[in-house]
Structure formats: C-alpha cells, structure tokens
Amino acid sequence: MILGADAVLAALPATSVQLAHACQALGYDMAFPATWGDEIVADGCLRHLATTEKDPAILAACPHVIDRLTRVGGELVPQMIVLAAPPVAAARYLRAAFAQRTVHITYIGSCPSADDPSIDARLEPGAFLDALAERGIVLAQLPEFFESVLPPDRRRYRSLPGGAPSAEQLAADDPRRALVELEGEDFLVELAQRLVTRQHALIDVSIAAGCACAGTVRGARATLVALEPPRAHGPVVDPHISIDLAPGDSTERAVAEAHAASVAHESAPPAPNAAHAVRAPAPPAVRRGAAVPVPRAFAAHRALARRRERALDVHTPTTYSTRPRPKAPPPGPVIPLATERPAFPPAPHAPPPPPPPKMRSAPSDRPPVAPTNC
C-alpha cells in the first residue's frame, strides 16, 4: 500500500507509523510512503533542469496542474516540465524493485493519476478510515513504533511534498535558480509576470492548482514536513533502479493536443476582416463642382465664433492668471472711510496732593490719652 499525503492529513492526530500498523491490520504486507514518489519526481526535475537554459520552468507533475495550465491553450507547454505524478512514480519504482515477485499495489489518496496501469486499486482517505472503523481498528490504540519489523525510510533528501525539489538542492546544482511557490486563486497573474520577466526560477503551482500530494489547504505542505523525520544525508531510494517518468496516456495526450492547438494558432494566417471587405470606399475629401454639405459640428462652431465677434465685450474674460488685475473705478461717489480714530484730548495737569502729616509722638511728661470709643 502507498500512503498519500492527503491520507496522512486526514488521519491526524494519528501518526504515519500508526497508519502503517493499520494497513497491516487490514491485510497488507507493507505500507510505503508517497515521499518515495516525491524523491523520484524531484530527481527527474533536477536532471531536466541541468539540460535546459536559464529560462523559467514550471513543474507539472500533477494532472490538476497540467489541466489548469493547458485549459485555455498550449502557450505554457514549452516552459512546463511534464512528469509522472508522485503516486505513479512510487508504484513504478516498487514494481521495478519487486520485479521478481507479483505485487498488488493499492494507493490511498485522491490523486487522479491513480488510473495508471502501475496501480491496481485506489481508496479515498475517507473510505480507508471507514474500512478501519468497520473492522474495529482504532488508530489511537495502535503502537507508535515498529517492533521486529524493518519499516521503509520515510525521510526526504531532495524533495518537498508534491515532488518539487527543495531550495537547497536547486542551489546546489545552480546557485542562481530559485524555487518559487505560488498560492492563491490569482496565481496565473503572478505566473505570467514571472514568465514575462524571464526570472531564473523553478515555479511550483501545485498548491494553487489543488494538488492532493502537495496539500490543497494553505499551510498543509509545512504540516507534512513537520510530521516527517529530519532530512536524510543521502538518497533514500535506490538510484540504480531507473523508471520511466513519462505521464499517463491521458495526460500526455492532453498536453500534446494543447501544444498542437497553440502551434496551429500561431502558424495560421490572419483571418480577413469581413467588415473591411464589404465596406464601401470612402468619398474623396475634396469635391469639385458640387456643393459639399458642411458638417453640423463645424457649422455650430463657426456660428458661435461669429456671435462672439458681434457681441460687446462687457465683461472681462475669465482667466486663471496669477497676475493682479487692474481695479476698475467705482460707479458711484467715493465716500472716504476713516481708518484712524481721533486721539482723545489729554487730561488737565493737576498738582499731586500734599503728603499726609507725619505722626508725632506725645511728650514723655504728658499723661497718655485714653482712646476714644466710637
């Protein structure tokens, strides 16, 4: 069984180890992570970038991405790196690794590429959880560690969820190439801007296009990376096992049809304009010998000009000049307005009053005078 990224998200808070134990409880021999397919797709993308020039490239390893980019035409096909989806790459790798045995591969996930002949059966994440509930298998009660079983390596080395190479791997091969992840509904506008400016980057639109392997919800890719073990220091899958990374027949046919339609549209001659073909020839600009009617707008403008010439210039024309205008004389008599008030007459000079008499003390030989009560 191949556990897709959306199946891991749907089973939270259960861990990937508990999901692997649940698969064994259902009767499967081994549960392999979809990260193996991401590693294979990322390696194929890096090998393709090594043979291309500095033009921007778009990773198209998901049927949703290919359908979104070729819906209106095949203009973006030359910039697209069309590869198989991660579940298909993982299934082809398992069949090549177990070539001496007959294997039955079941994929748990909602990626539409599961119709590939390399995958025998597919279960939606909801149907898988319902099957566990019918069998009485509780994910929370399953062990979180493997005992006496060698589990498959769930680490990553080159990839991100969805098959895009990591920024570190891109910088190791080409320090000037950047990884651009586009999100949101208006990602086509930003994509067109980056293609016009010929940015030296690998553009990943899997999240914006609704790729289930990369996480359709914003922030799901970071959640998947946080749930996984630390990155490996070397390749996780066997590099000596070579597989075909060509997409499925339906996907390859859709890309070929879109590209052929764009080429035919570019090479087709421009269609004649029917309006110009049936339009009568225009009359000459100057006629001799016959009265030519004056256009109504020109006649109205000329009549307005004549009326202005005959009218008296009573009012000065309105202008927007900053120069001061000359003041016209007032029509009536001028009444001067006094702006200065007459000064009040000064007050008559009066001599200052005499100082009050000084207090004198009584002689010591006189008896003190009793105070007078008023």
What DSSP string describes 50-91?
HTS-SS-EEEE-SHHHHHHHSSS-STTGGGEEE---HHHHHH
- Please say if the pLDDT value at position 233 is more than 60: yes
Return the CA Rg of the chain.
47
- CB-based contacts of 10: which residues, under 8 Å, 6+ apart? 125, 126, 129
Question: Is there a contact between 240 and 196 (Cβ–Cβ < 8 Å)?
Answer: no
* The most confident of 164-173, 289-298, 306-315, 351-360, by mean pLDDT: 164-173
Please report the pLDDT score of residue 144 as a whole number.
85
Q: Which has the closest alpha carbon to 64: 110, 7, 105? A: 110
Residue 201's SS3 state is strand
The domains of the chain are located at 2-267
Amino acid 173: pLDDT: 86
Percentage of residues in the chain with pLDDT exceeding 90?
A: 34
Output the pLDDT for position 124. Answer: 93
pLDDT recorded at residue 272: 44
Is the model more confident about 13 or about 72?
13
Q: How confident is the model at residue 284 (pLDDT cuts 50, 70, 90)?
A: very low
The predicted model scores a pTM of 0.67
Cβ-based neighbour number of residue 8 at 10 Å:
26
pLDDT at 327 over 90: no
Q: Which residues contact 131 (CB under 8 A, 6 or more apart)?
A: 26, 123
- Is 50 exceeded by the pLDDT of residue 274? no
